[in-house]
Amino acid sequence: MKNKLGILIALVAVGSGVAWGVLRASPVDEDRFAALSGNPDNGQIVFTAAGCASCHHAPDAEKDAKLILTGGQKFPSDFGTFIAPNISSDPVHGIGGWSLTEFASAVTKGVSPDGAHYYPAFPYTSYTKMTDQDVADLWAYMQTLPASDAPSQPHEVGFPFNIRASLGGWKLLFMSDEWVVQNVSTEAETKGRYLVEALAHCGECHSPRNALGGLDRNNWLAGAPNPAGDGRIPALTPNQLDWASEDIAYYLESGFTPDFDSVGGHMVEVVDNFAKLSAEDRTAVAQYLKALPTAD
């Protein structure tokens, strides 16, 4: 009997150790970014394409005040309401005291400096495809932005979704650094894929999710319910979005559709960001979208 009990205890201990190893938050390797020097000029472009200010400026911010990344905007979901944190250069209430490695761990792995999992309301599941140099450049630029001493607000997430350790399993199931669209045939489509799937994280809103909140990659950019509960977010696949490539690029620049309607909702911020990018970038996004396979 004692032998059986001892074996059971040993198996539980081993199982717990394996589970901890699989589910724990793993930061990036310290050496990975050691030799990189960030370019803040390119970092500004990455910052704009990634929409960092769109989510992290204060709810009432206008114009240049949007570069003060105070946080505070609320993002409702089926799992609770997530509140964007302060990611300004303040060393206490923001991220100014972080290292590049800690920043890279957060952006590409969803891991905080203290070793906790971030909720995937932060689109690190898309940013995980960013190049290391773009991460370093983004960090260099963000350190030039103003500081805010406003404390971050806690998320409004109840049990059991407030158990962050469970996010290790969620990442194991749903986080991947592989491209959704594997076959791209031109340089423009390749650039568009990087912008859509990584930096601009379009799939986070425009793709449906399963019951656990994982993206349905088989119906990539096929449209999804609005998490705020108001209507649907439209599909971007060619069988649903029948605009010409030039119309898509113009919409991303001006906010006007081919039918002379104008952009609304959170897409206002997205268009504002894309309008600051190059015409080549907007054309690349359009060509990637036109080359998408039809969703199931």
User: Which tens digit of pLDDT belongs to each residue from 11-34?
Assistant: 233 333 334 445 788 999 989 999
194: DSSP letter: I
pLDDT of 160 higher than 80: yes
The token pair at 209 is: 């999710």
* 75 contacts 84 by C-beta, under 8 angstroms: yes
Sign of CA dihedral 88, 141, 42, 275: positive
Query: How many Cβ atoms sit within 10 Å of the Cβ of residue 43?
Result: 22
What is the tens place of the pLDDT at every residue in 203-249? 999 999 999 999 999 999 999 998 777 789 999 999 999 999 999 99
Mean pLDDT score of the chain, rounded to an integer? 90
What is the tens place of the pLDDT at every residue in 176-188? 999 999 989 899 9
* 119 contacts 134 by C-beta, under 8 angstroms: no
> Which residue in this structure is represented by tokens 């309607």?
261
What is the tens place of the pLDDT at every residue in 191-211? 999 999 999 999 999 999 999
Q: Would you state the pLDDT for residue 296?
A: 56
What is the tens place of the pLDDT at every residue in 264-280? 888 999 999 999 999 99
Q: Would you state the pLDDT for residue 11?
A: 27
What is the tens place of the pLDDT at every residue in 71-118? 999 999 989 999 999 999 999 999 999 999 999 999 999 999 999 999
* Cα–Cα distance measured from residue 54 to residue 51, given in angstroms and rounded to the nearest whole number: 5
pLDDT of 120 higher than 60: yes
Closest by CA position to 170, among listed 99, 105, 122, 104: 122
* Cα–Cα distance measured from residue 156 to residue 75, given in angstroms and rounded to the nearest whole number: 10
Stronger pLDDT, 45 or 16, i.e. the higher one: 45
Residue 41 main-chain phi, psi, to 5 deg: -65, -50
67: DSSP letter: G
63: DSSP letter: G
Residues of the chain with pLDDT > 90, as a percent, come to 83
Residue 82 main-chain phi, psi, to 5 deg: -100, 135
Whole-model pTM?
0.90
